[in-house]
Structure formats: structure tokens, C-alpha cells
Amino acid sequence: MTTPLFDVVAMTEHWARAHPGTAACHVDRRRRRPETLTYARLDELITRAAARLSRAGVTPGTRAAVMIPPGRELVAVVLALLRLRAVPVLIDPGLGVRAIGACLAEAAPGAFIGVPRAHLARAMLGWAADSVHTTVTLATRTLWLTRPRTPYVQAAAGPDADDLALIAFTSGSTGPPKGVPYRHRHLTGQTGLLAQLGALEPGATVYSTFLPFAVAAPSMGCAAVIPRLDLRRPDRTDPAAMVRSITTNGVRGLFAAPALLDRLARHCLRHGQVLDGVEIVLTAGAPLPYPVLDRARRCLPAHADVRSVYGATECLLVSMADAAELTATAPATARGAGTCLGSVLPGNVVRVIRVTDEPIPHWSDDLMVPPGTVGEITVAGPAVGDPYLARPHESALARIDDHGEPVHRMGDLGWQDEQGRLWFAGRKSERVRTAGGDLYTDQVEPIIDALPGVRRSALVAVGPPGGQRPVLCVECEPGTSRRERRDLVERVRARAITLGGIAEVLPHRGFPMDVRHASKIRRPLLADWAARRLGREER
């Protein structure tokens, strides 16, 4: 029996029939003019891609790895696979060859669709050699120049709720990438949550650096801007190019990680630019610091709103805080409360449980901590994906069975206030476990970051759990002199000693960052550096 669902392909085809001449995608291209695809043209590309893939042997249920740079080809191929009821396997190309190989081994795709260099890497490195039986090479424009020799006829039946829809891998920023299978009912749940964000509305143009949103936008009647991104170094994205694209394409909705939003805002403020057409900004991937929010609002029109979205690959959308909420809670953040993640989106059930690093097989209400107490954030709801692929141990650590319903452990620490708002205290794996109790990164760092001259700070642990020494590493704003740096470190040390007795403060010239997720500090590397530095000082 087929369950009525939000069908990405069916909705895209609906817009193609209803508004064939309306823009569906704007594609930014290096050294060439941007390209605009109407719904009619996009539908034509999807049809040609589906015909080519079908002739190559892609059938319903085929797992198909997609290794294509952002652009019209990526959008067309993913939507063509969904039209064929195949299962796209989406892996971040910036992960590196070893991580990509591990992801492909876990996903075991039957088909591999990619540009020539991706096929060369697959052949040389043996990616998924035991599972791939169908390959499609996407050479420049050849997939689209010829019309299909045999017409493609779409099956009448839509997907069933429990049919596998796609496989997405986590970013790998907090551990090895893990494959998350999504069924069509999960996509329906995510679409319902996405509609509550207010950005993807019919007729709007959306600029998204988060590619799954860009692929999904045309199905919701939006024109998606597909930006040119350096997949290995998104932190080097040119803000001037972003401004040109946002202005030229009449962007109404902007989606960017906090670090990239900050880069864009700093550029606009330096050049006195205001993004007049933007009405809503969505940011995700890390909590939104209030200073970044403040800079972003100063380069937006007065009526524009900024909304911080909390979620993960395993459960894409959990809660949302708007600019007014973030502004109102900024004083509490500066006092050590953590960062407000906003109200839980309707449909999700968020509960905070006691902190443990052990598996929890079955749910019990005894797990929950009292309101206002820091614990691990858990989420249940329609968008929670399946257990990880081929990772039984990691799945056991991340999921709790609640009478047949999955509860996902986010791996984040936080608490809920009396209004039901969720607050972020830090990653569970990054808590500092001292003899006197645990310290949480996001209840310390915002206090230090508010001091003049501090660009960012990081609380790390040195030593074994239960007896760890808390060490506060500080990165100064660019241009700080040696004398100013010494004075700043002393001010930070005086403040840090009041925050759980943090006695060690070390200046650092530039934190090691995850270059693909520029908001995230590589804390294990920073902790190793701090241990070496303290060891030298003690000798």
C-alpha cells in the first residue's frame, strides 16, 4: 500500500507544468556568466539524465554514489535518481580520499556516477570495487547534448513510506563520517519541519551553501542559487562573489554557516554594503554567537530576520531561535548560561537526559534530568533517520528504543528553561572532567569571547578524565601587538579563575580549524598543543 507523501520529484514536475518559464535554479560559474535554468529546462535535464541512468542499469532501489561538483548536473542527477526511485548516496567530496573510500565501503553502492577524476580515483584506490556494477561518467556537457534514444516513462506508483530514499553521510567534523539512511517518511517529516522556517516559500529565491537545501528548493517552488564553493576549503569562499550573486539574483533567503555568515558580514561592513533584498537568513552547523548576529543585522535591511537552526544529519531540524530571541538571551549567554537554541519545532520531542558515555538500550523517564540541569540532548520525531550504516556500536551509542520509536542522542549537552527553550552547553565529548566536576565549553567560552581583543577562545582538557586540568586557549584579534597580547592574557586569566578555577591561560596565534566547517575548532589538536606547552613550562 502506498502512503501519501511529499514527493520531491512529483512536486518539481508540478512546478514545471504550472510555471515552465519560471526560474528554478541560478548556477554561479567560475569565469563565466551565471546560468539560469527554468523549470522547463530543469525538467528536460532530469528527463535526459534519467534516460541515461536507466539505460546504464540504474533501477528502483539501486544505491548510486554521486560524486559531482555543485552545479546544474548535480541537481539534475540527484532528482533523476529520485525519479527512478533509486537511492542517491551523498558524500561530501571535501572529506579526502581515505574517508570517501570508507564511506563507499559502508554504503556499498551498485552504481557510481561522477566526473572523470572521481572515476579515476575510484579505479586507482579501489573504491567500492566489490559492489559497483554500473558506472556513468559525467564528462563536460555530454550527458545533456543528445536527446535520449529511448523515451523514459515514469512508473505510475509513487514511493512507499518505508522505501529507502537516500543515504547521507555526516560531516566528519566530530568523528569519522557515518552513513544515515533516510526513508521517504523521513523526508516528508523534514519537509514539514522545513516549511516552518519561513525561507522556502513559492516564488522566493534562496542562496544556500548547504547543497541539500539547494537541491530541494525547486520542489517547493523556489529558485535555488547554486554557489561556486571550494569543497575542500569553504572557509576561503569569496565574500565579494557572494554579494554579487545575492544582489544579481534578487535573493530573498540566505542559508550559511555562522563562520561564513560572519565572513560575509565583515566584508559588507568594511565596504558599506547592505543586502537590501534579503528578508531572512538561516544559519546552522554551529550555535550563532551574538557578535556574529549583531554584525549580520547591520548589513541587512531593518525588516530582515536572522534565524539560527539547530539540528544534525541524523535529525536535520530540531529547534530554531530568531534574532529577537537571541538578542534577549545574549546577557544570559554572557553570564555562562550557554547559547540559546530556541524553541523546539512542532513535531519534535526533545528531552534532556543524564550524561553518560555508555549505550542506553531502552528509554525510561528516569533518564531525564530536572529542568535547568545540564544533560545530553535527545530528539524523537518524524525526521529521525535510520541507524547508521554498518556501524552497530556507534548506532547503539546514539539511539535509544522508546517502545519501538527511535530516540536520537545528539551528543550535545544542554538544558531547557521554564519556557521550554533549548540551550547549548557544548559537545559531550569536549567536556572537561575535573576532580571538582565537569566544565562545559559553551558556558565558558562566550564569557571570554566578549572581552575586547579576543577573537575566539577554546576550553580544552589536559590529563585523564576525572582529573583533567582545564586550559583556556586564547586567540587575539588580528593586529594585536605583543604588549597588548600580554595584557589581554592577564585580563583573561583574571576572568577565567572565576569560571570553575581555570588557572591555565595560553595565547595561541591561530587555532587549528576544521577547514570544511570553519566554525569548528579542532580541539584534540589544540589540547595536544596545550599539553606540550604546559609540559615545557613545567620543566
Across the chain, mean pLDDT equals 87
Q: In the 8-state DSSP scheme, what is residue 362?
A: B
Distance of CA 431 to the CA centre of its chain: 22
290: Cβ contacts below 8 Å, ≥ 6 apart: 326, 327, 330, 333, 334, 446
Q: What are the strands, taking DSSP E only, across 150-272?
A: 164-169, 179-183, 205-208, 223-226, 253-255
Residue 510: what pLDDT?
87
Q: How far apart are CA 226 and CA 72, in angstroms?
A: 8
The answer to whether the CB of 315 falls within 8 A of the CB of 192 is no
User: 14-24 pLDDT, tens per residue?
Assistant: 889 999 999 99
Mean pLDDT for 303-318 is 90
The residue that leads in pLDDT, 496 or 94, is 496
Say which residues have a Cβ less than 8 Å from residue 499's Cβ, sequence separation at least 6: 336, 439, 444, 447
Is the pLDDT at 2 greater than 90? The verdict is: no
Q: Residue 519: which of 458, 462, 477 has the closest Cα?
A: 458
Cβ pair 170, 177 in contact under 8 A: yes
Indicate the SS3 state at residue 234: helix
pLDDT at 226: 86
Q: Which pLDDT does position 534 carry in this prediction?
A: 87
**What is the arithmetic mean of pLDDT over 95-104?**
88
* Look-up of cell digits 552497530: 392
As a whole number of angstroms, the distance between CA 159 and CA 265 comes to: 42
pLDDT top residue among 146 and 107: 107
DSSP, res 4:
P
What pLDDT sits at residue 138?
Answer: 78
Question: How far, in Å, CA of 128 to CA of 125, rounded?
Answer: 9
Q: What are 225's strand-pairing partners?
A: 26, 207
pLDDT tens per residue, range 388-423: 998 999 999 999 999 999 999 999 999 999 999 999
The length of the chain is: 539
Question: With bands split at pLDDT 50, 70 and 90, how would you rate the model's confidence at 108?
Answer: very high
Q: Which segments within 227-267 are labelled E, that is strand? A: 253-255
Query: What number of other Cβ atoms are within 10 A of residue 356's Cβ?
Result: 13
pLDDT band at 302 (very low <50, low <70, confident <90, very high): very high
pLDDT tens for 353-372 read 999 999 999 999 999 999 99
Q: 146 pLDDT exceeds 70?
A: no
Q: What is the CA radius of gyration of the chain?
A: 24
- Please name the residues in contact with 538: beta carbons below 8 A apart, sequence gap of 6 or more: none
Band the pLDDT of 149: cuts 50, 70, 90: low
pLDDT of residue 470 exceeding 90: yes
Q: What is the pLDDT of residue 251?
A: 93
Helix (H, G, I), strand (E, B) or coil at 125: helix
Q: What is the pLDDT of residue 211?
A: 74
Question: Which of the residue ranges 91-100, 444-453, 505-514 has the most confident prediction, judged by mean pLDDT?
Answer: 444-453
Tell me the backbone φ, ψ of residue 519, rounded to 5 degrees: -85, -10
The string of DSSP letters for 463-503 reads: SSTTSPEEEEEEEEPTT--HHHHHHHHHHHHHHHTTTTS--
* pLDDT reported for residue 516: 54
Q: pLDDT at position 515, please?
A: 57
Least confident of 103-112, 203-212, 471-480, 510-519: 510-519
Where do the structural domains in the chain lie, given as residue ranges?
1-148+205-224, 431-538
Res 378 pLDDT > 80:
yes
Per-residue pLDDT, averaged over 443-449, amounts to: 93
Q: Measuring CA to CA, which residue among 375, 306, 312, 317 is closest to residue 344?
A: 317
Q: What pLDDT sits at residue 275?
A: 94
Name which CATH class applies to 431-538.
alpha beta
The model's confidence at residue 156, banded by pLDDT at 50, 70 and 90, is very low
| Calpha distance 202→407 (Å, rounded) | 33
CATH assignment, 1-148+205-224 = 3.40.50.12780
Degrees (nearest 5) of the Cα angle 373, 171, 262? 75
pLDDT in tens, 237-282: 789 989 999 999 999 999 888 888 988 999 999 999 999 999 999 9
| Residues 477, 468: Cα–Cα separation, whole Å | 28
Compute CA distances 175 → 22, 213, 309, 458, whole Å.
42, 24, 22, 19
DSSP secondary structure letter of residue 84: T
The pTM of the full predicted model, rounded to 2 decimals, is 0.89
* Residues 215 and 269: beta-carbon distance below 8 Å: no
The alpha carbon of residue 304 and the mean position of all alpha carbons in its chain are separated, in whole angstroms, by 23
Categorize the per-residue pLDDT at 1 as very low, low, confident or very high, splitting at 50, 70 and 90: very low
Q: How far is residue 350's CA from residue 367's CA, in Å, rounded to a whole number?
A: 13
% residues pLDDT > 90 (the chain): 55
Mean pLDDT lowest among 25-29, 302-306, 440-444? 25-29
